[in-house]
A and B are shown apart, each in its own frame.
Chain A
Amino acid sequence: MHDSLATEPTPAVEEALGASRPAARASAPPLISARGLTKRFDDFTAVDGIDFEVAPGEAFGFLGPNGAGKTSTMRMIGCTSPVSDGELRILDMDPRRQGPQIRSRLGVVPQQDTLDNELTVRENLLIYGRYFGLPREECARRADELLDFVQLADRGKDLVEPLSGGMKRRLTIARSLINEPSLMLLDEPTTGLDPQARHLLWDRLYRLKQRGVTLVLTTHYMDEAEQLCDRLVVMDKAKIVAEGSPQQLIQRYSTREVAEFRFLPGVQETLDGKLDGLASRIEKLPDRVLLYADDGEEVVMAARERGIHPEAVLVRRSTLEDVFLRLTGRSLVD
């Protein structure tokens, strides 16, 4: 995915943490726009005055650890949780007054499976279509189509309960598509799935994106964000701390490469200042040391010259995990 990163001027102000920027595609009006969006539960603030915009056709992600405020934000966008403060417009409508009209154009995949366990796989789709007020024949036609799309056509008559986690997720995605939504909200769509199931799901989401469906998703997996998102915001402690495409974020907040040094237990603590100056930034984690530099191999050579011999060395490209570490001082999944 090479976009116009290099030619795009980056205002200095954006370098500051917390600066957020509306969607670059100014041509179409945004599908979602939030200004100072806030969610409070009694005296706990789950979302603290965040600004963002999502353009039509975009795949937009909220990346952050558990408790960062991602789900609360998604629920407000889904019109199932009232906005405490600030401004929120979805599909050019006001969630306070037009909740049902907005919801009729959304496809929601919640964090937990909320399938109807008393019904079969196919009936789950049928009745869901009816909740949207679709005629029965139309529900039946779409249900069959969607079962094919998520590769569950042979399970249509089975009850939901015995399905595997991956199948339930796929059914939930099929269910969210029954009303042919303009906007899909996916809250941690692949949490708890095995790698195979995740890749199948990503493939289906990618196809939807190709068809022009706007995707908004939350995740605490950096690989998921890198796979699916055109643009994302990093959330931490109820606030947005950075915003951009995965590549932009890596370029802005990390170096091109990272050298990871692992030492035998106890050795890392004896290094003191020996690593200083080897890389543009050094991050000491409990189990390893990360040295950020544009050329990782160079760092490894320089370390050897200083007589530092780690037990294991890995040179890799920077990921969003490194961005997150830089922004918040801790790793994503903790």
Chain B
Amino acid sequence: MALRITPLFAFGSRRALRMIERNLLVYKHGWLMLFSGFFEPFFYLLSIGFGLGRLVGDVVGPGGQTIPYALFVAPALLAASSMNGAITESTFNFFFKLNYDKTFASILTTPMSPGDISLGELGWALIRGALYTIGFLVVMVLFGLARSPLILLTLPGALLIGFAFAAVGMAATSFMKTWQDFDLIQLVILPMFLFSGTFFPLDSLPEGLRIVVQLTPLYQGVDLLRGLTVGVIGPETVVHVAYLLVMGLVGLSIVSRRLDKLLLK
């Protein structure tokens, strides 16, 4: 099956920006809500990074250097929260808006197309993701976890993770029929969150399992951000970026083919 990558641009138009405008209007009423997503990685960092980290001590980080546990876990938490934010937005919230909210239905009676709406929603999710990431990076700097100027690149890195998961999440949602189907998503996301080298180095896993973990998208994201945070980049950085980019584009091409069928009945 030939993958249609081209519809990425055929699928939405500049009108997608109107969706972002709508979301800005909504958040004008409760702009504090905008920052809700910041607290998840922040609390994890406090409890696991610093709390548990005191018991763990130092661990071996990228490039074989020894780093404090908080520094090991912080970029992983950033990657995981980018994933969680993107998944929540592109699965539960997207499904609700598609089927119950009827907001999308009313927007479709205007010149806006399903592609415009999806692209706009994706864009909005990324904007929010960027805000959370900036907040978290400030916290890392304040706690003395910034070792390399490359840490600034974790911002686009986190956005790439968000993009990849949101696109695939939307594609998956386009096949969902009932709320029960979402249990499947949790079944995939939770083990990924716990075992993708997020909280402990991969060496502690048996060989076979290690390869499985290295193939998961969250591992790709965690390793990407961890390398950037500590300042170690190499060929694997390129692999991670390419992996996530392809994942997002494949997701988008599926969404673009499914959307009209979903929304225009």
Contacts and interface: CB of A to CB of B under 8 A. Distances in A.
A115 B106 contact: yes
A114 B25 contact: no
Contacts of B29: 118
Nearest to A114: B106
A101 to B, nearest CB: 7
**Interface residues of A, dominant DSSP:** loop
Nearest to A128: B110
Interface in B91-117: 101-103, 105-113
B25 A131 contact: no
A100 to B, nearest CB: 4
Interface string A104-119: 1010101011111111
A110 B264 contact: no
Contacts of A179: 110
Given A110-B106, A114-B105, A133-B15, A119 B264 contact: no
B265 interface: yes
Interface string A176-195: 00010000000000000000
A53 interface: no
Interface in A92-106: 99-101, 103-104, 106
A130 B21 CA distance: 9
A108 B109 contact: yes
A100 B260 CA distance: 13
Contacts of B110: 103-104, 128, 131-132, 179
Interface in A185-210: none
A175 B105 CA distance: 14
A44 interface: no
A101 B25 contact: no
A108 B205 CA distance: 59
B259 to A, nearest CB: 13
Contact of A81 (B15, B106, B111, B264): B264
Chain A: interface residue count, which band?
20 to 34
Contacts, number: 66
B54 interface: no
Given A112-B102, A116-B22, A131 B265 contact: no
Given A101-B111, A103-B111, A118-B26, A127 B106 contact: no
A131 B15 contact: yes
A77 B231 CA distance: 59
B109 A103 contact: yes
B103 A116 contact: yes
Interface in A113-140: 113-119, 123, 126-128, 130-133
A80 to B, nearest CB: 5
A114 B26 CA distance: 16
A82 B22 contact: no
A41 B265 contact: yes
B51 to A, nearest CB: 37
A117 B96 CA distance: 14
B4 interface: no
A117 B25 CA distance: 12
Contacts of B147: none
A100 B101 CA distance: 22
13 contacts: A41-B265, A80-B105, A81-B265, A103-B110, A103-B111, A114-B102, A114-B106, A115-B106, A119-B26, A126-B25, A127-B18, A131-B107, A179-B110
Interface of B: 15, 18, 21-22, 25-26, 29, 101-103, 105-113, 264-265
Interface of A: 41, 78, 80-82, 99-101, 103-104, 106, 108, 110, 112-119, 123, 126-128, 130-133, 175, 179
Given A114-B105, A116-B103, 12 more contacts: A41-B265, A78-B109, A80-B109, A101-B111, A104-B111, A113-B102, A114-B103, A117-B103, A127-B22, A128-B106, A128-B110, A131-B18
